[in-house]
Structure 1
Amino acid sequence: MSRVAYVNGVYAPHGEAVIHVEDRGFQFADGVYEVWSVFDGRLADFDGHMDRLFRSLDELKIAHPMGRGALAAVLRETVRRNRVRNGIVYLQVTRGTARRDHPFPSGDVAPSVVVTARSMNRTAMEAGARKGVAVITQPDIRWGRCDIKSVGLLANVLAKQAAKERGAYEAWMVDEMGLVTEGSSTNAWIVDKDGKLRTRDTQANILRGITRAAVMTLIAEQGLELDERPFSVEEAKQAREAFITSASAYVTPVVSIDGATIGDGKPGPIALRLRELYLEKARDEAA
């Protein structure tokens, strides 16, 4: 089945969907995006992602392209037209199309909206989670507003490519103090040597992960101890467990960091339990 994309009011075959050459997302990375997991044709963590989308738009002073209800309808229709039962739906909003110039264009320029959806092999994903993944570390060279989910992801791309070239799944960013900030496309977690869950606080210029927030709720419900505090690379290597969270990775155990084995080299029980709980809740509450 051929894929279908939504671009500025039109549903078109994926290979024919285009934007203008002077769209500011293409010219300046002047835009934001969101990704929802799709379970049984429904969108997981719907409100959290929508809230973050509008916050990102407001932080960049990009006009809202349409109301929340209309945008939700476009997302769901794109999922339907692509017959996605289990997968992801991607939304991108840019400042729009205007003659190339650094300042914002006039207020009558409409934002550009692009939506795509695709299926994912959940069986393969589960097998990967049961095996665990490797991560490497990279210097964090990103811009100073990583709390905004901007399409300007070149530093993330370079980090992810470095991970791929070294046979790893993800790269964890490390700041000038040697502390882990987050992954190139995920939030970073450990269960430290004292058995305490740790992840960096969102006041430290990291993305306010929606899956991260959902997992924090599960941690509280399970009565586990959580410390929103940064950890060093060395602390991570000495941890009992490590894992990552994101809309597409859910909760995925990490079994090595820069080649150093974490724990016994197998996915830890806390990470696996949190993954199970998250998937159960995400499916039940998907909208």
Structure 2
Amino acid sequence: MTRFAYVDGRFLPHDEAVVHVEDRGFQFGDAIYEVWSVRDGQLLDADGHFARLERSLGELRIANPKSRAGYQLLIGELLRRNRLRDGLVYLQISRGRARRDHAFPAAGTRPTLVLTSKRLDRVAAQLRADAGVGVITTPDLRWGRCDIKTVNLLPNVLAKQAAIEAGAVEAWLVDSSGLVTEGSSTNAWIVTADGRLVTRQADQGILHGITRASLMRQAEELGYVIEERAFSVDEAVSAREAFMTSATSYVTPIVRIDGRPVGNGAPGSVATALRQAYLDSA
């Protein structure tokens, strides 16, 4: 079956979907992106992702090319053409095509809008969660505005590759004070001995995860106490549980950090319950 993508007003076969060589997203990383998880044909946490998309565009002063309704129509058509009910939708908006110059191009440059989608194996994802995953730690080398969802992801790429080469699934990034910021593509959590959920505060040092925010609301409704603060690697290793959240991983237990077991080295009851609660609400 032919896979389709959307580029600036046209649905095209995936292999024919291209942008211009002087697109500023390609030349400078002058672009933002957003990712939605699709479950049974529906976008999860749709409003939160649209709100973050609008905020990211505003922070970079890139004009928003569509309304939320417009995006939803395009995404719906993309899912229909690709016959996708479980997977991911990726959206990228750059400042557009312009002669290469660091400064913003003259008024009138039209943003470039790209949409793609891919399938996810729900069974494989659940098996991974059932077994738990390992993470490594690595210095956080990213820029100072991680709260903006830009395509400038080279430090994240290098950290993720280091994790894969170490036999882990994710890398937790550690700041100059020795405190965990977040994962290369996930938010980081621990569960303390007395059952409190701890995740770093949503400042400029982390991406304000939409799954993170959704889970916080659900956890509070279930009676969990949440502390938004930084934690060290040693605190994480000695915690009762650890887990990560994202649009792609939902809630996934972490059972090893730098090869050291967390808790008893198996997925904990809190992370397992929170994953099920999140999926039940989807």
Shift of 1:159: 0.3
1:5 partner SS: strand
Q: Distance in 2 between matches of 1:55 and 1:202?
A: 14
Indicate the RMSD between aligned Cα atoms, in angstroms. Answer: 0.7
Q: Distance in 1 between matches of 2:126 and 2:67?
A: 36
Partner amino acid, structure 2, of 1:105: P
Q: Note if contact 1:198-1:226 (Cα within 8 Å) is conserved in structure 2.
A: yes
Q: Distance in 2 between matches of 1:6 and 1:204?
A: 31
1:280 partner SS: helix
Q: Distance in 2 between matches of 1:61 and 1:108?
A: 13
Q: Distance in 2 between matches of 1:176 and 1:215?
A: 28
**Counterpart of 2:139?**
139
Q: Note if contact 2:146-2:206 (Cα within 8 Å) is conserved in structure 1.
A: yes
**Counterpart of 1:195?**
195
Q: Note if contact 2:255-2:261 (Cα within 8 Å) is conserved in structure 1.
A: yes
**Counterpart of 1:174?**
174
Q: Note if contact 1:87-1:118 (Cα within 8 Å) is conserved in structure 2.
A: yes
| Identity across the alignment (%) | 59
Q: Note if contact 2:24-2:94 (Cα within 8 Å) is conserved in structure 1.
A: yes
Q: Distance in 1 between matches of 2:11 and 2:60?
A: 27
Shift of 1:204: 5.0
**Counterpart of 1:96?**
96
Q: Please give the residue correspondences for 1:226-237 in structure 2 after superposition, counting only pairs within 5 Å.
A: 226-237=226-237
1:203 partner SS: coil
**Counterpart of 2:265?**
265
Q: Note if contact 2:146-2:204 (Cα within 8 Å) is conserved in structure 1.
A: no
Q: Note if contact 1:88-1:117 (Cα within 8 Å) is conserved in structure 2.
A: yes
What runs of 5+ residues in structure 2 fail to find an aligned partner? none
**Counterpart of 1:285?**
none
Shift of 1:75: 1.4
Shift of 1:195: 2.2
Shift of 1:72: 1.5
Q: Distance in 2 between matches of 1:44 and 1:195?
A: 27
Partner amino acid, structure 2, of 1:245: T
Q: Distance in 2 between matches of 1:141 and 1:194?
A: 33
2:223 partner SS: coil
**Counterpart of 2:107?**
107
2:190 partner SS: strand
Q: Note if contact 1:147-1:206 (Cα within 8 Å) is conserved in structure 2.
A: yes
Structure 1 residues 13-68: Cα deviation after superposition (integer angstroms, max 9, x where no partner): 00010000000000000000000010111111000000000000000000111222
**Counterpart of 2:163?**
163
**Counterpart of 2:116?**
116
Q: Note if contact 2:144-2:204 (Cα within 8 Å) is conserved in structure 1.
A: no
Q: Does 1:211 align with 2:243?
A: no
Shift of 1:205: 2.0
- Please give the TM-score of this superposition, normalised by the length of structure 1: 0.97
**Counterpart of 1:152?**
152
Structure 1 residues 57-85: Cα deviation after superposition (integer angstroms, max 9, x where no partner): 00000011122211121111111111111
Q: Note if contact 1:41-1:80 (Cα within 8 Å) is conserved in structure 2.
A: no
2:203 partner SS: helix
